Structures are given as structure tokens and as C-alpha cells.
Amino acid sequence: QKPGLELAVVSVPSYACQRHTPLLHHNITLTDALSILAENAELGENEGRGVAFRRAAALLKSLPQEVRGAEQLRGLPCLGEHSLRVIKEVLEDGVSHEVETTTHSEQFKAMKALTGIFGVGAKTADRWFKEGIHTPSDLQRSGHTLNRAQRAGLQYYDELNLPVTKSEAVAIGQIVERAVHAVLPGAEITLIGGFRRGKQTGHDVDFLITHPDEGREEGLMPKVVSWLEAQGFLLYQKTTGNSYLESKEGPARPASNMDRFERCFSIFRLSTDNEGREIQTGNGPRSWRAVRVDLVVSPYSQFPFALLGWTGSKLFERELRRWAVHEKAMTLSSHALYDRKRTLYLRASSEEEIFAHLGLEYIPPCDRNA
């Protein structure tokens, strides 16, 4: 063994929620390759395969050094046979044949382009692909009947695929704050999702809204939306009510990973005058852009769970839930934490307390970039 080749790692824990995963890490080439394969699996609705590639990539993101040879991977968890094969190929040849084939495949390119339309999922995209629709323009010409979300997605396609910058997120935050305070003074607004983890860009901007007097937040969203609409800030919105209390399954046995908070999926019209950024359209440049914004309202007592559940990353969330079930016999959702052995709900007034309940070291948002 040449000195320096051995990674300075004694043992790496196997759940991503046990590790610190910073935004900037040392193995981008490898994680980019694995992410392409994960994405391809997800687009093909092969969730298990997607998760396996995501877990392997997350493991590499948490390593303190660059991996230079396959021998450095000995003893590390989360690296399945397929991921290892890809990693070795990239280490030896600089590229992986499978990754190259994937990125150049018509199907992958078309599925990415079509699911890049707001309101279009893998199932719909696949059906269209099989009809010979490969691009948003093909879809436009096809004369297919689209729902309201998809029509907006097509109309603002280019802009919505432009990364949202941190300063745009801050500007949106100021608008959201004005709207929320106009209809409910004292409400608290928190930037969540990727921006809370320290990302400098995102595909959307996510906000969590709550009020210290539990109950005051009920029915808040329609009022916020009316205010925003009246001020001309919304290009599209769809609000769904809170269905947590009516849901029969209860927080201990959520039917899916989707939470049941009052929520608004929207597209904001954001002025770009202060950004020095002009948006090019078919009708020439203009001084505003479309931005995807998600608003979520949580009752105060559920706020730490909502905050933890909405900060991500998606894999980090998945790993937290998996840890809770398999290692602690607990069920974690964005609403609550339930201890199945003691048959009781565990209260928490901060994210730190939830990690403590789960027997995990606290991982700050900036280290949840798994």
C-alpha cells in the first residue's frame, strides 16, 4: 500500500443520517456518474435500483478525501456490486460505459426533457415517449389535452429549468413574508429545502409557515394566496388543505411519504430588475421570471418534525425514516415521531430533540446533503 492511498477512515456508518454530508465534497466525478444511473432508474420507475445508486453516491459524498483507487473502498458500506463496478470503471478509464450510453440514449434524454415540464411525472412522460413525443415542442404540437399545471409548465418551460439563485430565493422570501404578515401577524416563515442546507441554487424555493398560537395557522393558505394573487405575484397556484386530522392511517402508519399539511404548489412572477438578469422569450426580453415556489403550513406543535422532514435531502429523509423503523422501532413522519414499543408519541420542540429521540448525533442542515 502506497502511503496516502489508505483513506483516513476507520469505519463509516451505513445510514446517511449517521454521517455528515457537506454540499462540497471530494468525489464529484464518481457521484455524478452514479447520479445519472440513479436518475435513469427513477425515470424508469425502478425505485429500488435508484435508491441503491443514491446510497452509494451519498456514501462517497461523506468521505473526507478523494477516492483514487478501488482498494480504498474496502470495508465501506452502501456500495453494491453494480455501483462498485461503475466506480471502478470511472477510476480506471475516467468514464463509465453504462453512464455514457445512458446520457446519450434517446429515451433518457426524452424522459428528462418531458419530466422537466412542471406537472409531468415519469408515467405520463413514458406514455408520451412511446407515442413518439420526445420534447416539449413535440408535446406542444401533439394537441394532447393538458391539465392546468402542465399548461403552465409548458408555457414557462425554459425559465422553470433555469436554476433559482439564492438572491432570488431571498427576494421571494420577502414577498412571502409580506403576504403572510398581511393576513396573520406573528406568523413565522422559514426557508426550507435545499437552500436551508446551504445550496446556492435550487429548482424551486420552499417555505414552511407556522404560528406560535396553535390553531391560528388553520386556513391560512387561501388567505395568503388571495393576497399574492391580488398583488399579481402568482402565475399559477394549486392549494391543498390539511388532511392530517381526517386521515385514518394516523402518523404512526402513514400511507405514503407524502405529508398532509396545508400546501401550495405555485409559480411566482418575480421581477428581475434588481438581479440584472433579463429573460429571453419568443417575444423579446422581459424583466421578470417565473419561479417554482412551494409553501407549507404546519401547526406549531408539529413544526420541528415538518422542518426536519422538509429540509432534505430526499435521501437523508429516507434514511432517517429507515433508521427510525429498523433500528429504533419508531415511525417518523413530517408530523410526528411514534414509539411503537412504548406505544406513544414523542414530543419535540427542536430538530435536536428529534435526533436525540432517535439516538442519533445531531446533524446540522449543511451536513444533510446526502
User: 65 or 124: whose CB is closer to ligand DCP?
Assistant: 124
User: 206 or 351: whose CB is closer to ligand DCP?
Assistant: 206
User: 227 or 310: whose CB is closer to ligand DCP?
Assistant: 310
Catalytic residue (choose from 206, 259, 273, 339): 206
Beta pairing, strands 205-210 & 288-297: parallel
Contact between 204 and Mg ion (CB under 5 A)? yes
Residue 232 C-beta: closest distance to Mg ion, Å: 24
Q: Of residues 153, 193, 299, 365, which one binds Mg ion by CB under 5 A? A: 193
User: 67 or 160: whose CB is closer to ligand DCP?
Assistant: 160
User: 317 or 319: whose CB is closer to ligand DCP?
Assistant: 317
Build a one-symbol-per-residue string for 153-192: x at contacts with Mg ion by CB under 5 A, - elsewhere. ----------------------------------------
Catalytic residue (choose from 204, 259, 339, 367): 204
- How does DSSP assign 284-309, residue by residue? EEESEEEEEEEEEE--GGGHHHHHHH
Catalytic residue (choose from 126, 294, 339, 367): 294
Residues 22-41 close enough to bind Mg ion by CB under 5 A: none
Contact between 351 and Mg ion (CB under 5 A)? no
DSSP 17: G
Mark whether 126 is an active-site residue: no
- Map residue 343 onto helix, strand or coil: coil
Q: Could you tell me the three cell numbers for 168?
A: 432570488
- How does DSSP assign 128-162, residue by residue? HHHTT--SHHHHHHHT----HHHHHHHHTHHHHTS
Mark whether 206 is an active-site residue: yes
| Number of shown-chain residues binding Mg ion (CB under 5 A) | 5
User: 63 or 295: whose CB is closer to Mg ion?
Assistant: 295
Closest CA to 242 of 231, 233, 251, 232: 251
**Integer Cα distance of 236 and 147 in angstroms:** 12
Contact between 365 and Mg ion (CB under 5 A)? no
Nearest-CB residue to ligand DCP? 312
Q: Which of Mg ion, ligand DCP, none has residue 312 at its interface (CB below 5 to 8 Å by kind)?
A: ligand DCP
Closest CA to 179 of 129, 136, 233, 116: 233
Binding region for ligand DCP (CB under 6 A): 193-194, 199, 202-204, 206, 257-258, 309-310, 312-314, 317
Q: Which of Mg ion, ligand DCP, none has residue 365 at its interface (CB below 5 to 8 Å by kind)?
A: none
Closest CA to 55 of 82, 29, 75: 82
| Residue 177: CB atoms within 10 Å | 15
CB-CB contact of 187 with 210 (8 Å):
yes
**Integer Cα distance of 332 and 309 in angstroms:** 9
Mark whether 32 is an active-site residue: no
| Residue 366: CB atoms within 10 Å | 14
CA 121, distance to chain mean position in Å, is 15
Q: Of residues 206, 259, 262, 351, which one binds Mg ion by CB under 5 A? A: 206
DSSP 261: S
Residue 293 C-beta: closest distance to Mg ion, Å: 9
Q: Which of ligand DCP, Mg ion, none has residue 251 at its interface (CB below 5 to 8 Å by kind)?
A: none
Catalytic annotation, residues = 204, 206, 294
Residues of this chain that bind Mg ion (CB under 5 A): 193-194, 202, 204, 206
